[in-house]
Amino acid sequence: MTGVTDTKRFLAGGNVYLPHIAIIERVIDETPGVRTFHFNFKDEKLREEFTFESGQFGEYSVFGVGEAPFCISSSPTRSDHLEFALQRVGRVTNALHRLGVGAEIGFRGPYGNGFSLNQLQGKNLVFVGGGIGLAPLRSLIWNVIDNRGKYQNIDIIYGARSPADLCFNYDLDTWEKDKTVNMVITVDKGDESWTGREGFVPAVLEQVAPSATNAVAIVCGPPIMIRFTFPVLEKLGFTPEQMITTLEKRMKCGIGKCGRCNIGNLYVCRDGPVFTYAQIKDFISSEY
Ligand code: FES
């Protein structure tokens, strides 16, 4: 249940490794270690023509430092700019975090398969997210909300370790107010000011207990959350084909050449990053 992509469409100079130049237009602090960047291509023609699917990713580079893959976290239905979000964890992510408005970055992509909207249409959708794992889900959530009539019920169950670790608070507020969306927010442990729900995402999912009838669950979060969420969904009656996740495992080249991202006999960059649980369930506990 995944989309398809044509990676050749937006090649810079006909070279798969050559990035397009993009300009950072806005930086948002999501949590102490996570930032969202809004950006646009320098080339006006590319800005107009560029398209992607929710769930696809790009390779983002800081010149002289290196590049790293992140999903495009904005929705193709809102195309005046593109967004990606990242946690500061290494050399490239630290260098990206140091960039401000007006800085130039490199972008290659879009890569990967993305979510197949055709196969989600007419379904009840259950989004289960943790921490920065909401980034790829939010692209799809906005995509679905912007085409609300094509989908049935929308449940969003989202959690983070603490209130300070909740990402995209501006979206969470909007979705909470949206009467066509059932939004449930939880934190593993609240602080003095937290009046909301406490509990791990898989446990809260079990309490909310969305029906599996005509439903698809889309899951993204820390590996431990993903591992504990699938058994809960199975208990609720979801089949492995009704569960989708998106992975970001050790990706490097992004185009199926370096062999760093294999999970079983699949390449995350080329065959994913969106997979059904049916595709990955034999590898997920040992490899992810
Ligand atoms: S990232 Fe290089 S083969 Fe997948």
Q: Which of 108, 270, 271, 287 to mutate to test the pocket of ligand 1 (most atoms within 8 A of CB)?
A: 270
**pLDDT > 70: percent of the chain:** 95
Distance CA 59, CA 240 (A): 30
Q: Which residue has the tokens 């065959």?
A: 271
Q: Which atom of ligand 1 is nearest to the CA of 258?
A: 2
Q: Which of 17, 59, 108, 252 to mutate to test the pocket of ligand 1 (most atoms within 8 A of CB)?
A: 252
Provide CB contacts within 8 A for 48, sequence distance 6+.
none
Contact in structure between 230 and 284 (CB atoms under 8 Å): yes
Distance CA 255, CA 267 (A): 9
pLDDT in tens, 235-284: 999 999 999 999 877 788 899 989 899 888 899 999 999 999 999 988 77
Q: Which pLDDT score, from 0 to 100, does residue 67 have?
A: 94
Contact in structure between 133 and 30 (CB atoms under 8 Å): no
Q: How many CB atoms lie within 10 A of CB 110?
A: 25
Kindly list the distances between the CA atom of residue 186 and the CA atoms of 170, 207, 239, in Å, as whole numbers in the listed order.
16, 12, 25
pLDDT in tens, 112-150: 999 999 999 999 999 999 999 999 999 999 999 999 999
Residue 254 CB less than 6 A away from ligand 1: yes
Average pLDDT over residues 18-26: 95
Distance 25 CA to ligand 1 centre (A): 29
Contact in structure between 199 and 225 (CB atoms under 8 Å): no
Provide CB contacts within 8 A for 15, sequence distance 6+.
none
